[in-house]
Structure 1
Amino acid sequence: GYEVCETLKQDERASHIPIILLTAKATQADKVEGLKYGADAYLTKPFDKEELFVRLEKLVESRRRLQQRYASGPKASSTAAPSIDDLFLQKLWAHIQDNLSDAEFGVPQLAVAVPMSQMQLYRKLKALTGKTPSQFIRSYRLQKGLELLQKGELNISEIAYDVGFTDPSYFSRVFQKEFGKSPSDFLR
């Protein structure tokens, strides 16, 4: 049990999956050991159904907070050591940044770069950020577009092309949807 838990938590493709260890090992040392191996919760047999439901609710709540944290894009690193999920997202952002102006760069190329299947990438990003891979890429491009707008050195069309959009009017529409303001509002 512990080894499987540790393997899953160290695997970039599965580290986001919550793990509840349900075991007959009931000593405090066993519980601590299970948590050290990466379990999100540790329940001993016979387990209380109500406790299981409360733990599940708390795990779901924790995942929602994690999604909110990751959904808004890259943040300045904290003093804490980055988690496997933090490193994974940093790797994704770096690949998108490296291909920012390439309008052809999308989910298939990102999945190859990581490397994982498109379905694994979908599941992992959806769990971590609440966004699909295409939404994740688009949000990153739009965030970079916002940064360029705030610098005020380029016009909207130039910015749209610089962040990988082939149609400036589409860029403006999705920008408005993402930020609640049009790109021209940021140029004023």
Structure 2
Amino acid sequence: MCYSPGTEEAEMRKRQQSQNEGTSSVSQAPSNQRPNTCCFCWCCCCSCSCSKITLEELLSWAQNFDKMMKSPAGRNTFREFLRTEYSEENLLFWLACEEFKHEQNKKAIEEKARVIYEDYISILSPKEVSLDSRVREVINRNLLDPSPHMYEDAQLQIYTLMHRDSFPRFLNSQIYKSLVENLSGGTSDT
């Protein structure tokens, strides 16, 4: 399976940190090239969920954004598209919030709340997500006593943004159309 909560964000953070430091790792793929061109994920294997997508599942994403977001293969394909639009941080933020909701350890909650803030909310972050001032104010207040649900309003705002703004473009993208064509045996009308 391609997706593992936390692992995806950690790998992305390492990759970006390495790029920012000007170093490269032999095990890392360049950010503009997928290591495995048979699927849209970064796991370097052919046994991932991306290679097990059915045409029916793929077409169902076009009808239901929520269904796509619940699918590891759907999230990975959508993430690949967001990367081309330089808005991958929206999905990464959403995933970080999903993972954060399950945290129960008080120290870990405080640490993860801070990391999410620094990575996605801070105006100093290169991965800052677009939030309105009301939501930012609530987050700033909640940082004094963080809880696993403190980012829910922000997460909903970003989810809605992806759904209304990015998702329609994704369905018209070459990434999605190529995948439909490949799974339908090259006879796609989309």
Interval of TM-score (by shorter of Structure 1 and Structure 2): under 0.3
TM-score (norm 2): 0.24
Looking at both structures, which has the greater relative contact order when contacts are Cα pairs under 8 Å and sequence separation is at least 6? 2
Larger Rg: 1
The structure in which a higher percent of residues are strand is: 1
